[in-house]
Structure formats: structure tokens, C-alpha cells
Chain A
Amino acid sequence: MRMTTRKLLDRAFTAAACFAVGLMVLFLLFVLGPIFGKGAGAYVFTGTVEHRRMMIDQFGRGDEARVAAEWAGAQQARRPIYDALAAFEKELPQLPAAKRKALKPAFKAVREGVAVLLGPEPGEPLPALTRKMYGQTRWEKVQAKVTDILFEETWDYSEGAGKKVLVPRQPMFEGTALAPLFPLLQTDLTALLRPRLTFYPGFLTDVSVDAHFFGGIGPELLGTIYLALGALLLAVPFGIIAAVYFQEYAKEGAVLTFLRTCVNTLAGVPSVVFGLFGLAFFINTMHVSPGKSVLAGALTLALLVLPTVIRSSEEAIAAVPRSYKEGAMALGAGQWHTVLTVILPAALPGILTGIVISMGRAAGETAPIIFTAAVSVGKLVNPAELLTQPTPALSWNLYNLCTEHEAVDEIRHVQYGMAATLVLIVLVLNLTAILIRARVARRLKG
């Protein structure tokens, strides 16, 4: 009887554990699935002829002759639309006053909608903003823009809470010169915009054009790499030295307990506090740079990851079997020599794991770099200017693009692409940590 109870309990525990793990995996899929699914859309998507034209103009990339031919074809297909617009513009002053008054705003909306969909009309002066120089570059946004032209979005307030009503514009223009435009937009879209499956690996390295409307996330990616590497460069030596001191040199006592408490407290400080500290101390007091800079950001991030590096190194050092140390001592090695040639190499896998995981953390943190390093627009940082130059960075710019940008809805693909790239970097770093650990552990055994 007791045996069966024990077995039952055991099974119940296994079931609970499996359930917990399953829940975690499900949650991970639930979170990462959409991020990677939608993020991939920044790299692989159905691009229109407008995208290919933009790539040639802005980045000098693509088959010029082929795109020119495509462009000529698309313009040919667009001719009837522009003809209809021009004809109606001529017709408008001759319409009866009441009708003219009703149709004028609708015509303006249609004309603006066509410019959004297909880009500026031929012969019109080129707009100043790059975002307005081209039509829709991505096929998945085309349908929404067509709907904007075909329907007027109004709100019906007759039943208290307003309801969205889409009023078709086509009947309004029945019998006018603009009428042929509407069916064209419904049936001829492919000829107008020439959608084609497009691979855009340059998203990873290109600079952004016109506040991320076009182009990629190169400066952000480079900034993130510089910041994370810089933080490690500063934090790792001090972290390992501190860990060696705690484990091998310091004597147990009040001072050590106090120092340990300090490290633990530092590990629990919210990251935004580090950010404010970095601004107040490194920039405003120490003047490490004239303003925000990669250096100031890396220093702040280094402080943030220092406790993690110390603690993971300490644990790794503590896990080295005592016999290693005693063996070295018995052979006549001094303490310094023992640490350098026996303990640290044996602890290396653990230390490296801690370092790589800290790097993932440094790459993903936003708050510490808001005030110390991150800007919303900036070039690829020149390595010679790391000490003085601020930089865009994936984590901060993702936030910036999702909340502060003037056209958040127009650049969803960039936001998802950035998020996916950032998560991927962290995943790859963690995977590297596992691989390094396995490899070094194997070598040490062999």
C-alpha cells in the first residue's frame, strides 16, 4: 500500500513537471513564433516594382536594365489611371455647382490615395521626403491602400457609439471621367505594381532611409555589437579578478560578507537606475565624452553585467575540485601560479558561460543606454569615434520605432524585423555559450 502511494506520488510529480515544461515550451512558441514569423517578413516578402526602383535609386542595387523595363511596363499600365485623373480634373469645373462641391474633396482623397499607392504622378515635382518618392514597396500593404482609395471611411453615430462605415466612392463618380479608374485598381493591381518574391538580406546591414521607411538596421546592429562587446571588455577582467579574490584570497569575515552583499545588491538594482547613474556620473560628472557615446553606454552596461560576471565566475571557481588546488600546491606552485594555471583554466567553461550570457543581457538592455548612448538617428559608427560618438542600438530603436515614430503603422515590418534580429542575437549568443562550454569541458576531460 505504501509502495503504491509512493509510486502514485512519483507519477504525479512527473506529470506536473512534464506539464510545467510543456507550458514553458508552448509559451516560448507562442512568444517567439509570431516574432520570427513576422520578423522574417523584413527579409523575405513580396516586393513591388516600387521596391526594386527604390533599391536602385537609394542603394544602387539590382538589375537596372530589368527594372527599367519593368518600370516602363508598369507605367504603361498606370497610364489609364493618370489619364482618368487628368480628364476628371478638366471635367470638374464644368460640373453643376452642387455636384462639384460634393465631388471635389472626394477627388482630392482619390488623387492622394493614388499617390500613396503608386508614388508621385509622372511630371509632378519629386517630393522632398524619400518616403513620398515611391509608391507602396510591399505587396501586403497594397490592398489596404487600395481600400483607402475605393472607400471613404466614415463613422455612423446614429446608435450612440460610433460604427465604422465604408462608403464606396465609385458610385459617386458614376458617369464622370474618373469612373474607369475604380475597376482598374481592382483588377489590374498586378500589372500596376508587379509583385515578386523578394529576398532582402541587406536589411541586416543597410542604413535606414528616411527614418526607417526604407533600408535596414545596419547602424542599430553595429551599435548593439559595439555596446555589448565594450561592456564585456570592461566588465570581464574586473569581474574575474573580483571572483578570484572572493574565492581564493579573501578571508571569511564581516568584510567579505559586506562585499558579497554589495555585489548581490548591485545585481538587483533596476536597469533604469544604472542608466540614470551613467548619465549623472559618467557624462555629467566625469565627462568621459562630450555627450552620449558608445563609451559611456558600454561603461554603464559594464556596471550592469559586472555582478553577473562576478557571481558566475565565483561559482565556476568554487566548483573546481579541491584536489586540483592541493595537487598544484603539493608540487610547489604558489597561490598565484595555482590560480593562473590550474584553477582558472578548469573554471573556464563556467566563466565563459557567464560571460556570453551577460553579453546577451547587455545586447538586450534598453534603459541603461537611453541616457548614455542611444540616439534615434545616426550613421554607422566609425570605430575611431567609439569614445565620443553616440549610436543607434537595436533595443532602444525598437522601442523608439514602436512608440515615438511619427508613422508607427507604416513600418511594422521594420519593428518586427528588429525584434526578431535582437532575439536571434541573444539566442545565438546563448547557443554559443552552450557550445563553448561543451567544447572546453570535453578538452579538459581529454
Chain B
Amino acid sequence: MRVSLLVAGLVAGCAVAQAQDKLVLDGSTTVGPIAKAFAESYMRQNPGVNITVSESGSGNGAKALLNGTCDIADLSRDLKDTERKAMAEKGVKPVAHVVAYDALPVLVHPSNKVKGLTIDQLRGIFTGKIKNWSEVGGSDLAIVVISRDTNSGTFETFKDMVLGHEAKIVESAEYTGSNGGIRQRVQMTKGAIGYAGLGFVDKSVKALEVNGIAPSAETALDKSYPIARPLFMFTNGEPAAESLAAKFIGMSRTEKGREIIEEIGFVPVPAKK
């Protein structure tokens, strides 16, 4: 009897705790660093709150929101029609919140002498029509195409913006599960080409100019760099005004939140008026 009371008490305690001071985030590995930094900053100011962040990819984030296993889904792309339909059937009402902007730098090994490519050349490389760096002004070296996995929002964005929706990525492409993984693969392989979020570029890889424009926060914001995108956090329904989810997402428009986003390497959204 006493045991069952204890268990009941525990369960009730958990239920209450969950309503007020728990927030579960899942999804994109691109948005991950922002979510992690926000979570840490928020928990530091509000020690009673527990925010957990998983980075399992945009597709899994959308699935988690659909299944109700997360409060906020991080996505580096918009929801697909199929996902919206599935959510509508389950009564989930996705609401998009843009938290930052990102460009998708095209990465090559720093020893590669190619300085930039056009979108057409990129399309040729990723669809397998161009197979050697010498065809685009580089040295005689086979191109190793490295792509994000199909669960990734970065993959979807890149495919839509560079290859066109119908195009197929070359069969010999290697697929990697995270932005960090792409960078590691590119820095180890001389002939490699890949793409990742702005926040993941360091000096171990070279970011190419695309159509003559180098990727940066500025060129992402003024949209002169051709492969740029917003980063989203999705909630099920508009979060209530003073709720934890609303405050968490609202951080992206506070001064501190915008600083965090900028320091990680992404482009913050304009501040609240």
C-alpha cells in the first residue's frame, strides 16, 4: 500500500514537473548548436528548469513533433507536404518560428585550387556529370561527392536550391549523418566536396565561392549568396504567451540570443521592435 502511494506520488510529481519546467527539443544537427547554447543560457538563469536537446536530424525532429515526443522540433528546412498532412491527420498543428538564417557553404579540401563554382557546375558535380576537378579548373583529381543523409534538412535545402527538386544525387555519393561529419570527411579527403551550415566552417576546410559570392553572414542576409535558408523551430500550436516554449523561442530575438547565434556563426533574425 505504502509503495503504491509512493509510486503514485512520484508519477504525480513527474506530471506536474513536466508541465512547468521541462522542455524537450529534437531535430536538426544544424540548429543543434543554437538550441544547446540557448538551453544552457536559459537553465543558468532559471536553475529549476530542465531543457534537453537531441540532434537526430530534421526528419526525425518532424517525426518527434508528430508523435508528440518533443515540445519543439528544430528543422533546417520547412515541413514537407507529406509531413504536414500526417500532422493534420493526427491533430498536430505545426507552427513555424524562424530563429536564424544560415548559408550553406560548399566545402572542399584546402589543397584544392578551385576557388569557386557556379550553380550549374555544382549541379553537374552532384548529379555525376562532372567527375574530375580538372573539368572545373582544378587539378586532375577524381571528385568525391559527400552529402548529408536524406533525413537531413540541410540535404533537402541543398537539393532544392542547387539540384532542383527532381534531380538525383550521383550514386557514388557518400552520405554522412551530421554537419560535423561532413567537415571531417572533407578535411581528410583531397578530392572531396560537401556542404554544411555556416557555423561548422573552420580553417580545416575551404568554403568555395558560389556564382562569385563567398558565403558569410552578410551575404546570407542580403541573399546575394545563392544557397541560404532560414532555420526553424516548430511547435504544436502557438505556445502560450508566458510558457517555457514561448520564452525559449523568444530568446532568438533578444539581444543575448542574437549574440549567441552570431558567435556560433549563424545569422540572427532582426530584433523585436
Enumerate chain A interface residues (CB-CB to B < 8 A): 127-130, 132, 153, 155, 157, 160-164, 209-211, 283-284, 290-292, 370-371, 374-379, 382, 384-385, 387-391, 400, 403-409
**Interchain CB contact under 8 A, B202 and A388:** no
Give me the interface of B with A, judged by CB distance under 8 Å: 10-11, 13-14, 17-18, 22, 24, 26, 29, 32-33, 35-37, 39-41, 43, 50-56, 64, 67-70, 110-113, 139-141, 177-181, 183-184, 190, 199-200, 202-204, 206, 256, 259-260, 263-265
Q: Are A377's CB and B56's CB within 8 A? A: no
Knowing A211-B36, A388-B14, say if A406 contacts B259 (CB, 8 Å): no
From residue A146, how far is it (CB to closest CB) to chain B in Å? 15
CB of A8, distance to nearest CB on chain B (Å): 49
Contact flag A160-B139 (CB < 8 Å), given A211-B37, A408-B184 = yes
What separation, in Å, do the CA atoms of A374 and B55 have in the docked complex? Answer: 10
A132 to B260 alpha-carbon distance, docked (Å): 10
Q: Evaluate contact between B180 and A406: CB separation under 8 angstroms.
A: yes
* A385 cross-chain contacts in B, Cβ below 8 A: 14, 17, 50
Among the listed B51, B183, B263, which residue makes an inter-chain contact with A129, where contact means beta carbons less than 8 Å apart?
A: B263
Contact B111 A161 (CB under 8 A): yes
Is B180 touching A370 in the complex (CB atoms < 8 A)? Answer: no
Task: Establish whether residues A128 and B139, one from each chain, have CB atoms under 8 Å apart when the complex forms.
Answer: no
State the CA gap A128–B190 with chains docked (Å): 36
Residue of A nearest to B64 (CB): A291
Residues on A with C-beta less than 8 A from B32 are 376, 404, 406
Candidate in B14, B17, B39 with the most chain A CB atoms within 10 angstroms: B14
Chain B, residue nearest A379 (CB): B50
Task: State which of A209, A210, A378, A405 has its C-beta within 8 Å of the C-beta of B180.
Answer: A405
**Contacts of B111 on A, CB cut-off 8 Å?**
155, 161-164
Question: Smallest CB-CB separation from B115: which chain A residue?
Answer: A157
Q: Are B52 and A378 in contact (CB under 8 A)?
A: yes
Complex formed: what's the CA distance from A347 to B181 in Å?
48
Closest residue of chain B to A401, judged by CB? B180
Report chain A residues within 8 Å CB of B33. 211, 406
Residue of A128, A209, A291, A404 near B70 (CB, 8 A) is A291
Which residues in A have their C-beta under 8 angstroms from that of B70? 291
Specify which chain A residues have a CB less than 8 angstroms from the CB of B22 in the assembled complex: 388-389
Contact call A290/B68, Cβ cutoff below 8 A: yes
Q: How far is the CA of A157 from the CA of B109 in the complex (A)?
A: 12
- C-alpha spacing A160/B113, complex, angstroms: 8
A370 touches B56 (CB 8 A): yes
User: A374-B54, A377-B40 are known contacts. Are A388 and B181 too (CB-CB below 8 A)?
Assistant: no
Residues of chain B within 8 A (CB-CB) of A370 are 56
Task: Let me know if B263 and A403 touch, CB within 8 A.
Answer: no
The answer to whether B204 touches A162, judged by C-beta atoms less than 8 angstroms apart, is no
Residues of the B chain whose Cβ atoms lie less than 8 Å from the Cβ of A291: 24, 26, 64, 68-70
Nearest-neighbour CB distance to chain A for B59, whole angstroms, equals: 13
